[in-house]
Amino acid sequence: MRVPSPAFWMVVAVAAAGLAALLFAPAAGAAPAPRAAIYTGCAESPDDVNPLTAQSPVARRLVLAYTHDALLAVDPATGELRPAAAAGFELAPDGGSCTFTLRAGLRFCDGSEATLDDALFPWELAQAGHLAFGFVGDAMARVRGVTRLDARSFRVDFRDRHFAAVRVVGENWLLVSRGFFLRRLAARAAPAPVPPVDSAAFAALLALATGECGPGTGPYRLDNPPDGAGDWRPRQDLLLRPNAHSWRRAADPSAWTFEGVRVLFRDQQAATNELFAGALDWFSSPALDELLRARPELAADYRRLVYDYDALGVYRMVWNCRRGATADARVRRALGRLFDVEALRAGNEGLGAAAVAHAKPGSAAVPPALAPLGFAPAAARDELRALGFDAAAGVPLRLVVLAPQGTEALQRIGDLFADACRRAGVDLELRRRDFAAYVQERQRGDWDGLLALQSFRPWGDPWDLLHGDGADNAGGWRHPEADRLADAARVEADPVRREALWRDLHALAHREQPAALLVHPLASILLHRRVAGATVGRNGLVLEHARIAALAGR
């Protein structure tokens, strides 16, 4: 393994698909790469780094999270809201509005002042209604109106009541430089004048500016001028450099001391090869158990971290409740007995507790009496036979299950389920697809079961998963009592009463089984022993105060 430099080099590989980190020369005309940086890799290259339109998790978590502050952030240790671009916020007593006050002296990484016009730029575009937002749209969708109060303060009136409205709006409302985008779009429109901001033509130009990250107020910046001599090479790599005007570093000199963040786009095999070569400090793989058995010497330089965090959800099989046999809750309960969760968990440190609800294990929102249905193929066969599905009589239950290719856990779930179906007399067609094909077939709805790893909302609301109109209710389950409970919990300000409503909702979903809940995943990584100060919090691994510590004898 290599000897660490005396500064702050850190090479990281993170992401489910597998990552790699490699040194390379900067693009022609670009400033030299910093001598000390975090190196991170990801197999999926983002196609958009525009803070207003970007949608991919990579752009959000590995780029914009470092370059652009939202109004508010979440404390990585406690999970509580804390100021970010907004120095403070005040929720109205009735919960219908919130006042935000911008941080005094806030500047973008190009040195320009961040003003209220910049803060309200996303809302200006939302009012026009022409732009297809990225994740910023989550904030805009919850807003009914905005009122300027003074030079730094504005009041947001929420579209409807929601116990987490401040968090949804605060975390997703990015501070974006209005002047930067006006200048860039004027150059794109030339020789014609730049269209008005509230016009469809302006939105069309902005939607094409996928490579324009622009200046933010975060701890790092992405230099990406239109002449192509910048720090982002699509499908290859990007480099984030320190923001000299960062209020975070001024407020806490011990925060974000690394001299850069480099994101490289490589596949799983490349990441593994770099790990073996000693070039990585942070490595994640869906086959980490197998890797450590094959290369036990890695333990000398790496420690394994296994941890949970709020958004890490559940492996589940979503049943199509809109059609066929799986529209019947009795069929769904019988099929729920065909998942051998204990066999799946055995020897796999990346899998946690068996799942019984769309909530974190041990949460006060989960009824304590809920228990898994249990693995019982013979009982499932008998229950299906009583419902008219009898393979021996030539009338088996026929299922089409759609599954994404990729992780070891998803592969294992599919294999175990296929074996149990054979034992229960179920005629299963298991369609394993790459992600693009998986999404296309999922949208067509020509399936009975949908295998997926479902993330959770960090604030715990299962509305999108269990309400009939929920964005993540892929199976179309609709139950009037479930809708009532989900709606009531969403507007309940008192956490004790809200958790009681959720317990009733989870108990109902457990009886109706719109999805077979299988097991909660855990994050599992290798972290080089020279990385000190990294902690685990409500949002996962926290590097905000991490540093490089020299190891004795190296």
Residue (of 150, 152, 153, 145) closest to 126 by Cα position: 145
Q: How far apart are CA 130 and CA 138, in angstroms?
A: 16
Q: What is the pLDDT of residues 329-348, one digit of tens each?
A: 999 999 999 999 999 998 78
Q: What share of the chain is helix, strand, coil (3-state, %, to 5)?
A: 30, 20, 45
Q: Which CATH number fits domain 72-178: 3.40.50.300, 3.90.76.10, 2.40.50.140, 3.40.1550.10?
A: 3.90.76.10
Helices 408-424 and 377-386, packing angle to 10 deg: 50
Q: Do 26 and 32 touch, CB atoms closer than 8 A?
A: yes
Mean pLDDT of 303-309: 90
- What's residue 226's pLDDT? 73
Q: What is the reported pLDDT for 40?
A: 60
Same fold flag, 72-178 and 314-521: no
E strands, 417-551, where?
Answer: 427-433, 449-454, 515-521, 523-528, 531-532, 535-537, 540-542, 547-548
Q: Which CATH number fits domain 314-521: 3.30.2020.30, 3.10.105.10, 3.40.47.10, 3.20.20.110?
A: 3.10.105.10
Q: Per-residue pLDDT tens for 483-522?
A: 999 999 999 989 999 999 999 999 999 999 999 999 999 9
Classify strands 220-221 and 143-148 as parallel, antiparallel or unpaired. Answer: unpaired
544 band by pLDDT with thresholds 50, 70 and 90: confident
Q: What is the mean pLDDT of residues 406-417?
A: 88
pTM of the model: 0.81
Q: Where are the domains of the chain?
A: 72-178, 314-521
Task: List pLDDT tens digits, range 417-456.
Answer: 999 999 999 999 999 998 888 989 999 999 999 999 999 9
Local confidence band at 279 (pLDDT 50, 70, 90 cut-offs): confident
98 membership: H or E segment, kind and range: strand 97-102
In tens, the pLDDT along 236-246 reads 788 899 999 99
pLDDT in tens, 446-459: 999 999 999 998 88
Q: How far apart are CA 234 and CA 47, in angstroms?
A: 7
**Using one digit for the tens of pLDDT, what is the confidence trace for 152-196?**
999 999 999 899 999 999 999 999 999 999 999 999 999 999 999
- In this prediction, residue 20 carries a pLDDT of 27
* Structure tokens given for 462: 């299962």
Name the residue among 111, 349, 67, 351 with its Cα closest to residue 213: 67
